Amino acid sequence: MAIYFLGGGNMASAIIAGLRAQSSDDNIIVANRSADKNQILEQKFAVQTAFRLPENINANDVVILAVKPQDMRNALTDVQTHGALILSLAAGLEVATLSHWLNSNRIIRVMPNTPCAVGLGISGLFAATGASDADKVVAEKIMSACGVTIWVENENMMHAITAISGSGSAYAFYLMNALKQAATDFGFTDKQAHELALQTFRGAVTLAAQSGEDFAVLQQKVTSKGGTTFAALTKFDECGVASGVQQGAQAAAARSMELAQMLK
């Protein structure tokens, strides 16, 4: 089995890194238009590269579509997958649309996120009716190489996956940057502020993962009524921070739905 990537951007690189960490024996070929990028991928991951997918793809292979949704139609021009399993990383691009373009229903949609680059990603997956249980196992193995996976039975839930975890790391960075800015406002250096925010989030995530307790319970444990944390959380509530995050996720899901309609 060969694993072909159409596109060699950040997410493709993250998945390749996970696969290489898991095994050096996978036959990985990347089709990418940038000669410089291809050289970097060859040197970093010992993969083969080309400017386009070859014609000798067969049904035992996997083709991972890793180009931007708006560029996908042009990228798939003249592509023949010859019955190979298709994994699509394109946000908002529905199975029906891909099936029409590729004349295949052996498709699994995947929505990963950027922490895949360090093996700590989470990927949502949805299988089209033409994908077998064996295909799901293959997709699971590939995506598990760079994090954990969650399967959804309804394709519409991929919009929610996009809104929560696909875009979610950016929400975390947004909050980290806000906390860093608060630290610099107090007079800390940029380096000190960065470390204060980073270690606070790192520690909180590790504690939550190890304790297994609900996030709300953990919050209550560090919040004494009338104390400093209580004062901060009260101000967050007054400013609608939680509501803003929830509305932001809804906006991301709505945009994913809009993209799906545009790409049909």
**Nearest by Cα to 16 from 57, 72, 64, 50:** 64
Annotated binding site: 6-11, 66-69
**Nearest by Cα to 12 from 76, 75, 90:** 90
Annotated binding site for NADP(+): 6-11, 66-69
